[in-house]
Amino acid sequence: MALKALDIYKLLPKKNCKECGDPTCLTFAMKLAQGKAEPDLCPYLDEEAKNILGASTRPPIQKVTVGMGTLSFTVGDEFVFYRHEKTFYHQPGILYAVSDTESDDRIREVISQVRGCKVTRIGIDLLLNGIAISADSGSSERFVAAISTVVSGNPDLPLVLMASEPAIMEAGLAVCGNYLPLIRGAGDKNIEEFCSLAKKYGAPLVVSGSDLQRLAANVTRCTGLGVTQMMLDLSGTEGEFVRTSTLVRQTALARSVPGLGYPVFLDARTTGFSGLITGIVKFASVIVVNPLSRTEMQAALVMRQNIYTDPQKPIQMTPGLYRVGTPGRDDPVFLTVNFSLTYFTLQGYLESTRRSCWLLIVDTEGMSVLTAVAAGKLSESVVKDAIEKFAVADEVNNKTIIIPGYASPLSGRIEEYTGWKVIVGPRDAAEIASFIEEELK
Ligand code: SF4
């Protein structure tokens, strides 16, 4: 069980020496309880206290990394059941499945779908994470050939190898084991063989079991055999998955069954898009799915981004000077804040007018216009700094800027401070078309 701050405090040396970087042992204890500090920062802990605190403060769901290099991804290391309690940290990897019974041309087609998939939202590129190769042919040679088709030219793409026969899995690992693929196939009957492969290739292992009790026991067996990087296979119908993943998350957070404190793997090939969405929402950390339509893929990536965004921090746009259409030197400059909802709403209305313009986004720490004005986060100095930093004067002939209606109290001060002429725009972005029609002919 996780210790509370006062329980942790009782284990500390109480010297208040500040060497851990905190002013007192009590504040250090509070940070340990919140998972914001490591016990090693205190040099005066005895071994017993270190062991107790290490077990109590390590993440309830272990961190696991799949693949190598820039496209590798990390999952697990989560601390809460509901995202509003803190945040979810590591978004699930989504991998498209191919079968070794498919032609090499089809496999290459799926690779290019994964490679070509990119949705840019709020200045962030949303990507698929890799390829899962399933040994359905029953032939080591064909499995190796399919893996070779994927790996050749794509060694950076994270992989999941799926084979229940240890000899076939070993043949596949001999081709790509250095890239640390996730290996799936370990169950009640072949745990020892799969643990040997996981250790030999340093690959993370997906473990299954006929029920949760057996699954936890299998994981404990793997731990005893020296495997540390594991995931729990909870694949099944959507209903079963929701039930078991919920139970596993609750159990892991309570630290009551050590064998369930690992990230969750979901094979959604039979449940498709609906299963993928269920997996994203209900705690899956790696999801394998058959290739989706572009619309489905975009919806899934956006859903994943929304759920794995810190709910306590507004989603922010990167401040800067953005183009709407193909603006020239005589087109207007609109100013707004970096609260993403404001940006996307305004951008949509501006695009619908078909009038090219510039959009200057200033940093208000993600606050909306009204809040930013009230909190002093949108001010004449913020506007001046943004105009200078993003060299707006180099792009336009007229030093005129259109500010949101809710920022009208600042118009005079912005004019004085920046030397730019200020026009007060509408309060509501929906009125932008009529504003342009009437004021900017
Ligand atoms: Fe207390 Fe240890 Fe921090 Fe010193 S280093 S203040 S003894 S917790």
Q: Where are the domains of the chain?
A: 5-57, 61-308, 320-440
Place of tokens 């002919």: 441
Q: How far apart are CA 53 and CA 7, in angstroms?
A: 10
Listed residue (131, 121, 184) closest to 156, CA to CA = 131
Listed residue (367, 392, 397) closest to 379, CA to CA:
367
Taking the C-alpha atoms of residue 222 and residue 274, their distance in angstroms, rounded to an integer, is 32
The C-alpha angle with vertex 287 and arms to 286 and 289, in degrees rounded to 5, equals 155
Ligand 1: nearest atom to the Cα of 45: 2
320-378 residue pLDDT tens: 999 999 999 999 999 999 998 899 889 999 999 999 999 999 999 999 999 999 999 99
pLDDT digits 0-9 by tens, 248-270: 999 999 888 989 999 999 999 99
Asked if residue 8 has pLDDT above 80, the reply is yes
> How far is the centre of ligand 1, averaged over its atoms, from the C-alpha of 54 (Å)?
16
In the chain, % of residues over pLDDT 70: 99
Q: What is the mean pLDDT of the chain?
A: 93
DSSP character at residue 140: H
Cα-to-centroid distance, 78 and ligand 1 (Å): 27
**Continuous H helices in 164-237:** 166-176, 191-201, 212-224
pLDDT of residue 316: 85
Confidence (pLDDT) at 34 = 77
Mean pLDDT, range 291-317, rounded to an integer: 91
Tell me the per-residue pLDDT of 49-97, one tens digit each, with 9 for 90 and over.
887 887 776 788 999 999 999 999 999 999 899 988 889 999 999 999 9
Question: What pLDDT, on a 0 to 100 scale, did the predictor assign at position 38?
Answer: 82
Q: Can you tell me the mean pLDDT for 174-203? A: 94
Closest CA to 256 of 426, 2, 35, 72: 2
Output the pLDDT for position 37. Answer: 82
Site to substitute for ligand 1 among 8, 9, 11, 20, most atoms within 8 A of C-beta: 20
Q: Which fold has domain 61-308?
A: TIM Barrel (3.20.20)
**Measured between alpha carbons, how far is 343 from 365 in angstroms, rounded to an integer?**
13
* ipTM, 2 dp: 0.98
| CATH class of the structural domain 320-440 | alpha beta
Comparing 5-57 with 320-440, is the CATH topology the same? no
Q: Are 171 and 201 in contact (CB under 8 A)?
A: no
User: What six digits make up the tokens of 43?
Assistant: 């040099």
Contact 305, 126 (CB under 8 A): yes
CATH code at 5-57: 1.10.15.40
Q: Is the pLDDT of residue 2 over 70?
A: no
Query: Residue 40 has what pLDDT?
Result: 86
CB-defined site of ligand 1, < 6 Å: 12-13, 15-20, 22, 25, 28, 42, 44
